[in-house]
Protein backbone atom coordinates (compact mmCIF):
# COMPACT_ATOMS: atom_id res chain seq x y z
CA UNK A 1 0.00 0.00 0.00
CA UNK A 2 1.14 3.54 -0.65
CA UNK A 3 -0.36 6.97 -0.20
CA UNK A 4 -1.87 6.98 -3.68
CA UNK A 5 -4.76 5.10 -2.07
CA UNK A 6 -5.91 8.47 -0.71
CA UNK A 7 -7.11 9.41 -4.19
CA UNK A 8 -9.21 6.26 -4.39
CA UNK A 9 -11.10 6.72 -1.11
CA UNK A 10 -14.71 7.82 -0.85
CA UNK A 11 -14.03 10.97 1.16
CA UNK A 12 -17.70 11.59 1.90
CA UNK A 13 -17.89 8.13 3.47
CA UNK A 14 -14.74 8.86 5.50
CA UNK A 15 -16.21 12.15 6.76
CA UNK A 16 -19.62 10.67 7.60
CA UNK A 17 -18.02 7.67 9.33
CA UNK A 18 -15.72 9.93 11.37
CA UNK A 19 -18.61 12.17 12.45
CA UNK A 20 -20.73 9.12 13.36
CA UNK A 21 -17.83 7.70 15.40
CA UNK A 22 -17.37 11.05 17.15
CA UNK A 23 -21.12 11.48 17.73
CA UNK A 24 -21.31 8.05 19.36
CA UNK A 25 -19.29 9.58 22.18
CA UNK A 26 -22.17 11.89 23.12
CA UNK A 27 -24.28 8.80 23.78
CA UNK A 28 -21.51 6.55 25.16
CA UNK A 29 -20.35 9.05 27.76
CA UNK A 30 -23.82 10.36 28.67
CA UNK A 31 -24.93 9.81 32.25
CA UNK A 32 -27.59 7.28 31.23
CA UNK A 33 -24.98 5.10 29.44
CA UNK A 34 -21.41 4.91 30.77
CA UNK A 35 -21.04 8.52 31.91
CA UNK A 36 -21.44 7.94 35.62
CA UNK A 37 -19.20 4.87 35.65
CA UNK A 38 -16.60 6.71 33.57
CA UNK A 39 -16.84 9.70 35.91
CA UNK A 40 -16.25 7.53 39.00
CA UNK A 41 -13.44 5.60 37.30
CA UNK A 42 -11.69 8.75 36.09
CA UNK A 43 -12.15 10.73 39.28
CA UNK A 44 -13.61 13.63 37.28
CA UNK A 45 -16.60 15.82 37.81
CA UNK A 46 -18.59 15.92 34.57
CA UNK A 47 -20.29 19.20 35.39
CA UNK A 48 -19.78 21.43 32.37
CA UNK A 49 -17.02 23.96 33.01
CA UNK A 50 -17.91 27.60 32.69
CA UNK A 51 -15.43 28.25 29.87
CA UNK A 52 -15.31 25.23 27.57
CA UNK A 53 -12.55 25.39 24.98
CA UNK A 54 -13.36 24.28 21.43
CA UNK A 55 -10.42 21.87 21.81
CA UNK A 56 -12.70 19.67 23.96
CA UNK A 57 -14.62 18.87 20.77
CA UNK A 58 -12.07 19.50 18.02
CA UNK A 59 -9.34 17.15 19.28
CA UNK A 60 -11.63 14.09 19.65
CA UNK A 61 -13.20 14.83 16.25
CA UNK A 62 -9.75 15.01 14.63
CA UNK A 63 -8.65 11.77 16.28
CA UNK A 64 -11.85 10.04 15.10
CA UNK A 65 -11.13 11.34 11.60
CA UNK A 66 -7.52 10.09 11.63
CA UNK A 67 -8.39 6.56 12.78
CA UNK A 68 -11.35 6.43 10.39
CA UNK A 69 -9.06 7.47 7.54
CA UNK A 70 -6.56 4.75 8.49
CA UNK A 71 -9.42 2.23 8.65
CA UNK A 72 -10.60 3.35 5.20
CA UNK A 73 -7.09 2.84 3.84
CA UNK A 74 -6.96 -0.67 5.33
CA UNK A 75 -10.44 -1.33 3.92
CA UNK A 76 -9.32 -0.26 0.47
CA UNK A 77 -6.20 -2.44 0.67
CA UNK A 78 -8.29 -5.44 1.78
CA UNK A 79 -11.02 -4.84 -0.83
CA UNK A 80 -13.71 -4.28 1.78
CA UNK A 81 -16.78 -3.50 -0.29
CA UNK A 82 -19.95 -4.24 1.66
CA UNK A 83 -21.46 -3.55 5.05
CA UNK A 84 -20.66 -6.97 6.55
CA UNK A 85 -17.01 -6.76 5.52
CA UNK A 86 -16.98 -3.20 6.88
CA UNK A 87 -18.39 -4.34 10.21
CA UNK A 88 -15.69 -7.00 10.44
CA UNK A 89 -13.00 -4.52 9.43
CA UNK A 90 -14.09 -2.05 12.12
CA UNK A 91 -14.31 -4.81 14.72
CA UNK A 92 -10.83 -6.10 13.84
CA UNK A 93 -9.31 -2.61 14.00
CA UNK A 94 -11.18 -1.89 17.25
CA UNK A 95 -10.31 -5.15 19.02
CA UNK A 96 -6.89 -5.57 17.42
CA UNK A 97 -5.58 -2.02 17.76
CA UNK A 98 -7.78 0.28 19.84
CA UNK A 99 -8.49 -2.18 22.67
CA UNK A 100 -4.87 -3.12 23.38
CA UNK A 101 -3.65 0.47 23.08
CA UNK A 102 -6.40 1.79 25.34
CA UNK A 103 -5.96 -0.97 27.90
CA UNK A 104 -2.18 -0.76 28.15
CA UNK A 105 -2.19 3.02 28.50
CA UNK A 106 -5.30 3.24 30.67
CA UNK A 107 -4.85 0.26 32.95
CA UNK A 108 -1.59 1.60 34.32
CA UNK A 109 -2.78 5.17 34.82
CA UNK A 110 -2.45 5.35 38.57
CA UNK A 111 -3.96 8.83 38.61
CA UNK A 112 -7.39 7.19 38.12
CA UNK A 113 -9.37 5.66 41.01
CA UNK A 114 -10.40 2.69 38.82
CA UNK A 115 -7.96 2.51 35.90
CA UNK A 116 -9.21 -0.82 34.46
CA UNK A 117 -12.83 0.42 34.38
CA UNK A 118 -11.69 3.72 32.91
CA UNK A 119 -9.71 1.94 30.18
CA UNK A 120 -12.47 -0.59 29.47
CA UNK A 121 -15.12 2.09 28.96
CA UNK A 122 -12.81 3.97 26.59
CA UNK A 123 -11.87 0.78 24.73
CA UNK A 124 -15.52 -0.18 24.38
CA UNK A 125 -16.28 3.21 22.86
CA UNK A 126 -13.54 2.77 20.27
CA UNK A 127 -14.55 -0.80 19.42
CA UNK A 128 -18.19 0.19 18.86
CA UNK A 129 -17.20 3.44 17.12
CA UNK A 130 -14.81 1.73 14.74
CA UNK A 131 -17.33 -1.00 14.01
CA UNK A 132 -19.87 1.69 13.15
CA UNK A 133 -17.31 3.55 11.03
CA UNK A 134 -16.31 0.32 9.31
CA UNK A 135 -19.94 -0.44 8.45
CA UNK A 136 -20.36 3.02 6.90
CA UNK A 137 -17.11 2.71 4.97
CA UNK A 138 -17.94 -0.79 3.75
CA UNK A 139 -21.41 0.22 2.63
CA UNK A 140 -20.21 3.28 0.70
CA UNK A 141 -17.17 1.76 -0.93
> How many domains does the chain fold into?
1
- Among 22-26, 50-54, 96-100, the minimum mean pLDDT is found in 50-54
Q: Evaluate whether residue 2 is within a structural domain.
A: no
Q: What average pLDDT does this structure show over 94-105?
A: 95
Residue 1: inside a domain: no
Domain containing 88 equals 8-44+55-140
What residues contact 75, with CB distance under 8 A and at least 6 apart?
85, 86, 89, 134, 137, 138, 141
pLDDT tens digits, residue range 108-141?
888 999 999 999 999 999 999 999 999 999 999 7
Each residue's pLDDT tens digit, 40-53: 999 887 676 677 78
Q: Cα separation of 105 and 86, whole Å?
A: 27
H helix count then E strand count, the chain: 6, 0
Alpha-carbon distance of 98 to 122, in angstroms, equals: 9
In a domain? residue 34: yes
Per the domain annotation, does 63 fall within a domain?
yes
**How many CB atoms sit inside 10 A of residue 102's CB?**
21
Could you tell me the sign of the dihedral formed by the alpha carbons of 78, 79, 84, 86, in that order?
positive
Judge whether 65 lies within some domain.
yes
Report if residue 95 sits inside a domain. yes
- Between CA 139 and CA 113 the distance in angstroms is 41
Does residue 3 fall inside a structural domain? no
| Residue 82 maps to a domain | yes
Distance in angstroms (rounded) separating the CA atoms of residues 61 and 50: 21
Distance (Å, rounded) from C-alpha 50 to C-alpha 83? 42
Q: What is the pTM of this model?
A: 0.92
Cα-Cα end-to-end distance for the chain = 17
Amino acid sequence: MNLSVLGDLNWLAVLVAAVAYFALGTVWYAEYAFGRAWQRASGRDLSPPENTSPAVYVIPLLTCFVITLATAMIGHASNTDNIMEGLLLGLVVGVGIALPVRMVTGAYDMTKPAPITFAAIGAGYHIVGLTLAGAILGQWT
